[in-house]
Amino acid sequence: MILKTEDLKNLDRIYRLNLINSISGIKPANLIATKSRSGQDNVAIFSSVVHLGSNPPQLGFVMRPQVEPFTDTYTNILETGFYTINHVTDAFVKKAHYTSAKLKADESEFDVMAIQKQYIEDFFAPFVRSSPVKIGMKHLESISLTNACIFIIGEIVLVDVLDTSVDKKGQLDLSAHKGVGISGLNTYHGLPKIETFPYVRENEIPTFDD
């Protein structure tokens, strides 16, 4: 199947939505949690978290176009400057998926989806207790994209990770804690480890067969 610009425009809306959302492959599944100034917390699933740099340690993620009233996640990040990113595992993937529901402002997905929250030291926003990788983020910048989405850039200021998930070189083994990824909008995949290859140097490239 070959589809060009006009073909894509003429596709059924739902078909196009599913196709384009899944065409980039498996994306990370993360729960992003925030808390308002008044103390109301919320948590929602995102599949757009990306690595930006390690020194300083920064991550970014994409938010859908915002029209007032803004989503709780975006409002809380702007008002407080803090949020958390929590890896999703197969143990609570169903609960995580349903956090995409649009709840009332005074309702918490933590409560409705029975997801336990956790506070670590004095960090403002809550973490997901059952997540094996918890990341405390400080908001740095919000960038408007050409499609009206918003790219949120943050600095990692706290990390809580299971010792058994990190090897001697500091590499995270997602399969060790049964992390999951997302294809499209609602299909979840396990992430079994295949292989770890060495850092590539030109004089160490092996000979490959056709």
pLDDT given for residue 185 in this prediction: 86
Domain boundaries along the sequence of the chain: 25-193
Could you give the 3-state DSSP secondary structure of residue 44? Answer: strand
Whole-prediction pTM: 0.92
Give the tens place of pLDDT for each residue, 116-156. 999 999 999 999 999 999 999 999 999 999 999 999 999 99
pLDDT given for residue 195 in this prediction: 86
Give the tens place of pLDDT for each residue, 181-199. 999 889 999 988 888 888 8
Pairing of strands 27-28, 41-46: unpaired
Evaluated on CA atoms 162, 168, 174, 177, the torsion sign reads: negative
pLDDT given for residue 173 in this prediction: 86
The angle at the Cα of 53, spanning 33 to 21, to the nearest 5 degrees, equals 60
DSSP 115: P
- Above 80 in pLDDT, residue 68? no
Which CATH class name applies to 25-193? mainly beta
- Give CA–CA dist 173/153, Å, rounded: 24
Give the tens place of pLDDT for each residue, 2-25. 998 998 998 999 999 999 988 889
Give the tens place of pLDDT for each residue, 78-107. 999 999 999 999 999 999 999 998 888 889
| Proportion of the chain above pLDDT 90, given as a percent | 67
Instruction: Supply 63's token pair.
Output: 């938010």
pLDDT given for residue 104 in this prediction: 85
